[in-house]
Amino acid sequence: MKKALIAILLILSVLSVSAQDTLVDQANVRRNVKIVIGTEAALYATSMTALYYAWYAGYNQSSFHFYNDDAEWMQMDKMGHAATAYRVGHIGYDALRIAGMDEKRSIWYGGTLGLAFLTTVEVFDGLSEGWGFSWGDMAANVLGSGLFIGQQLLWHDQRIVLKYSFHSTEFPQYRPDLLGENLLQQTIKDYNGISVWASCNIKSLFLKEESRFPAWLNVAVGVGATGMTGGFDNVLVYNGTPIPVFERKQQFFLSLDVDFTRIPTNSTILKYVFRVLNIFKLPFPTIEYNTGNEWVMHWLYF
């Protein structure tokens, strides 16, 4: 279910980015802000309604209750929550600033947009018999929103950006119902191939403004997991077919990255492309350490 939400929010992220430039040349700030808030409210209502009828309506409802899923998918779904809350908050802020709203209100009103989306989903979970309200999910949601808001209040800049990357794995063939039946589904469902990164801008964090060091070069710290054919535990048989025994491992990565938004350009089209690309971690040589006590060098990690 959370994977379905992430898919919806990823689509909304791209649509919202593409819509921002339509407000740049409008003179009436109050009208611009109303347009942005109205658009965001419509996106919120539409996506939550679609999610409810696409997913929750087909399952039994219950009284509000809680559910501890902190150990599920080796916390990779929590990383997805944090990254989604961060990204949607960034979009909400950008849209309000372009519309003309002042910095402080844009930070608080726009920066909490992702938290609003994801809190609604937790309420849906809490009223569904098969799930429950997860405090772990809520902590991740707050962390993602807080990372964006905190940096914007402190620096008026995002020097640490949460990003996503994906590579295909062998595991969906054993559990296509759970991990995805095709590549598109797997980009959202297969947590074995998903990594979440904190991409840190070297120059803005560690060097002086006048330094000639490339402003777009980042160092990235990532988290992933592998060996999972089930949420909490691996299954040994699926539809009567034995599944190999895999060791579940958490992975920690160190790599380089590019902050596309810091690449100078006067092209409106390139600025749009760069904003979209900045959602994703760029493949680079990567050092991995995992809970199997292994060090692995990836010459190009996706």
Question: What was the pLDDT predicted at 3?
Answer: 52
The sheet with strand 249-258 has its strands ordered as 160-166, 194-201, 217-226, 249-258, 284-290, 294-301
Q: Write out the chain's pLDDT in tens, 302 residues.
A: 455 455 545 545 544 544 444 444 445 778 878 888 888 888 888 888 888 887 788 789 999 999 999 999 999 999 999 999 999 999 999 989 988 899 999 999 999 999 999 999 999 999 998 899 999 999 999 999 999 999 999 999 999 999 999 999 999 999 999 999 999 999 999 999 999 999 999 999 999 999 999 999 999 999 999 999 999 999 999 988 999 999 999 999 999 999 999 999 999 899 889 998 999 999 999 999 999 999 999 999 99
Per-residue buried b or exposed e for 16-50, using 16+ beta carbons within 10 Å of the residue's own CB:
bbebbeebeeeeeeeebbebbbebbeebbeebbee
Question: What was the pLDDT predicted at 45?
Answer: 87
Question: What was the pLDDT predicted at 53?
Answer: 82
Please spell the DSSP secondary structure of 239-302, one letter per residue: TTEE------EEEEEEEEEE-GGGS----HHHHHHHHHHTTBPPPEEEEEEETTTEEEEEEEE-
Question: What was the pLDDT predicted at 99?
Answer: 86
Question: What was the pLDDT predicted at 42?
Answer: 85
DSSP state of 8: H
Q: What share of the chain is helix, strand, coil (3-state, %, to 5)?
A: 50, 20, 30
Question: What was the pLDDT predicted at 27?
Answer: 55
Please spell the DSSP secondary structure of 188-205, one letter per residue: HH-TTSEEEEEEEEHHHH
* Residue spans of beta strands (DSSP E) within 21-159: none
Q: Are 104 and 25 in contact (CB under 8 A)?
A: no
Look at residues 180, 87, 199, 73 and name the one whose alpha carbon lies nearest to residue 136: 73
Task: Tell me the angle at which helices 76-99 and 2-20 cross, rounded to the nearest 10 degrees.
Answer: 20
The residues facing 61 across adjacent strands are 128
C-alpha separations of 205 from 76, 87, 122, 145, 208 in Å: 27, 20, 35, 20, 9
